[in-house]
């Protein structure tokens, strides 16, 4: 739904329907925030449950070339570095989860800020803000795919007797907070009073 909402916003913008496009951007920001909260929660559950199993899955580092934006590329580069430095597979697993979780939170915050600028019409360079939304969406969905791979790998490593406890932990995650609109940000000018 997130991708559909953003695609609709771009289509509406291309047709000159800016008010509706801004509304769709606001909806996409709400959907992304909710999904990010769920993914960060799932990363926390994978971390907590991973401490209770002896053989966590082997992981590959995040690849900076799979991302477009500075935030995600920096996180991926840092993960690649740590992957080379940390020799234990267990440490690599937990570091990747931590970095992925932090990256998801940062991307969601940046997306919300850019969407707020677009939705409220306060962007000085609206074209740049729209491009930033597309870039952040791309990086976010790449992180989503990485999280999906981690969950599948974890399920293969999880002993069968712990599966129900893992499912209960996922079910116990709090529901993401629902927002109705992206709040416009107040800008502080550097002009003297």
Rg of the chain, C-alpha, whole Å: 19
Predicted structure pTM score: 0.86
Which mean pLDDT values do the consecutive 10-residue runs of the chain (193 residues) have? 87 91 94 96 96 92 97 97 90 96 98 93 85 96 97 94 93 73 42 33
- Opening angle at CA 171, ends 104 and 45, nearest 5: 45
Spell out the domain ranges in the chain. 2-160
Cβ-in-10-Å burial (0-12, 13-18, 19+) of 122 comes to: middle
Euclidean distance between CA atoms 187 and 16, whole angstroms: 26
pLDDT, residue 179, reads 53
Q: What pLDDT was estimated at residue 5? A: 86
């Amino acid at each position: 739904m997130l991708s559909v909402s953003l695609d609709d916003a771009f289509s509406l913008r291309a047709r000159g329907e800016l008010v509706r496009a801004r509304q769709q951007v606001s909806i996409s920001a709400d959907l992304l925030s909710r999904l990010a909260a769920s993914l960060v929660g799932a990363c926390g559950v994978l971390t907590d449950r991973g401490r209770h199993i002896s053989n966590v899955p082997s992981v590959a580092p995040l690849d900076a070339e799979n991302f477009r934006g500075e935030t995600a590329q920096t996180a991926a580069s840092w993960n690649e570095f740590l992957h080379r430095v940390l020799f234990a597979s267990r440490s690599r697993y937990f570091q990747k989860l931590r970095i992925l979780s932090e990256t998801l939170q940062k991307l969601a915050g940046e997306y919300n800020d850019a969407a707020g600028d677009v939705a409220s019409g306060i962007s000085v360079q609206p074209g740049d803000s729209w491009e930033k939304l597309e870039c952040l969406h791309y990086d976010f969905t790449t992180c989503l795919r990485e999280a999906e791979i981690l969950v599948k790998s974890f399920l293969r490593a999880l002993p069968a007797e712990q599966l129900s406890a893992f499912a209960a932990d996922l079910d116990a995650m709090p529901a993401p907070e629902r927002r109705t609109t992206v709040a416009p940000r107040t800008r502080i000018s550097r002009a003297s009073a």
